[in-house]
Amino acid sequence: MSRRLAALNLLLRTLVKPRLERTAGPQEALRDFDLSSRWLLRRPAGIRHAERPGDLHWISACPCRPDRVILYFHGGGYITGSPYSHEGLIARLSRLSHIEVCAPAYPLAPDSPCPAPFNAAVEAWTRCRELGYLPENIALSGDSAGGGLALSLLGWCCEQGEPPGCAVVFSPWCDLTMTGQSLRDNADTDPYLPVDRMEELVALTLGKAARDDPRISPLYGRFPDCPPVMIHYSATEILADDARRMAARLREFGGDVALREHPDAPHAWPVFDGWIPEARTTLREAARFVQASLGAIRR
């Protein structure tokens, strides 16, 4: 573990996690996240960020291949976050892979619970297809809730008979039934997420959907003809078992899954790119995976 990561874990444990434990509700959480992301989530230089029809944000930070795209879904527990808050991570992934990123501003709970985020994800996929991107030239990606949303969309695409080229996700939230053992085992070791607020978050997010609805709990989805998938997670986070069980589920359908465990990083640590070297290392590996899967390696 780098000294910077140790310092970040201490900061999250002593300041951020207690704040999350006592946040009054989703509006306060959204306000806090928007404010903190402005200084805590760094952005590389040279970002190009364009808003286009369909609430789609097109983000890059270098010359990119015109025939490939990464469809990225931001995290935030379905109640916070936006393509702007995650602009730094997204732009860095674009720069490392030399592929432009399309990031939907999907609707958030509690105003727009399930299936609104999933429907927006399908619409974003459909728009990319209408723009001429072939399924095999599209990578799905996301972090936390956005990682779960990317995997829900992956299942839908596979069921439709047009799987994407690959998917790469960071600390995905895959199971709103909350049956993962790590929710209990890692309640104290997770430096970031307070487990005692998760049930409240589930209630805000579900709407009238069942907890095991694959549109929000991809662990219960189907993935015929599954493409290559890479999953990054931390051994100490409360959602560790979501990642492990999701990998096993994808393998049931013949998926080639690269499961990457970090021993002691915070939940969705790539968002801290620019602060900790572990974030850049993970993003480099993810970019290489996307390039190889989409046949987009630069010569």
The full length of the chain comes to 299
At 115 the pLDDT is 97
Question: The domain containing residue 135 runs over which residues?
Answer: 3-294
Q: Name the amino acid, one letter, at 210.
A: A
Q: What is the rounded end-to-end Cα distance, in angstroms, of the chain?
A: 33
The answer, yes or no, to whether residue 167 has pLDDT greater than 50, is: yes
Nearest to 150 by CA among 141, 161, 158, 163: 141
Does residue 4 or residue 37 have the better pLDDT? 4
Q: Which residues are catalytic?
A: 144
Point out the least confidently predicted range of 23-27, 161-165, 246-250: 23-27
* Residue 213, domain member (yes or no): yes
What is the number of structural domains in the chain? 1
Please answer whether residues 131 and 66 qualify as being in contact, where contact means their C-beta atoms are separated by less than 8 angstroms.
no
Distances (CA, A) of 188 to 124, 182, 238: 37, 10, 9
Give 264's Cβ-side CA count (13 Å radius).
13
The CATH number given to whatever domain includes residue 99 is 3.40.50.1820
Q: What is the mean pLDDT of the chain?
A: 94
* Residue 57, domain member (yes or no): yes
Phi, psi of 55 (to 5 degrees): 55, 40
At 48 the pLDDT is 94
* Residue 211, domain member (yes or no): yes
**Residue whose entry in the numeric block shows the structure tokens 């702007």:** 84
Categorize the per-residue pLDDT at 54 as very low, low, confident or very high, splitting at 50, 70 and 90: confident
d(CA 236, CA 283): 19
**Residue whose entry in the numeric block shows the structure tokens 């015929």:** 224
CA 285 vs. chain centroid, Å, equals 15
At 298 the pLDDT is 46
At 297 the pLDDT is 54
* Residue 266, domain member (yes or no): yes
The answer, yes or no, to whether residue 60 has pLDDT greater than 60, is: yes
User: What would the pLDDT profile of 113-142 be if each residue is shown by its tens digit?
Assistant: 999 999 999 999 999 999 999 999 999 999
* Residue 299, domain member (yes or no): no
At 296 the pLDDT is 62
What's the mean pLDDT in 133-157? 98
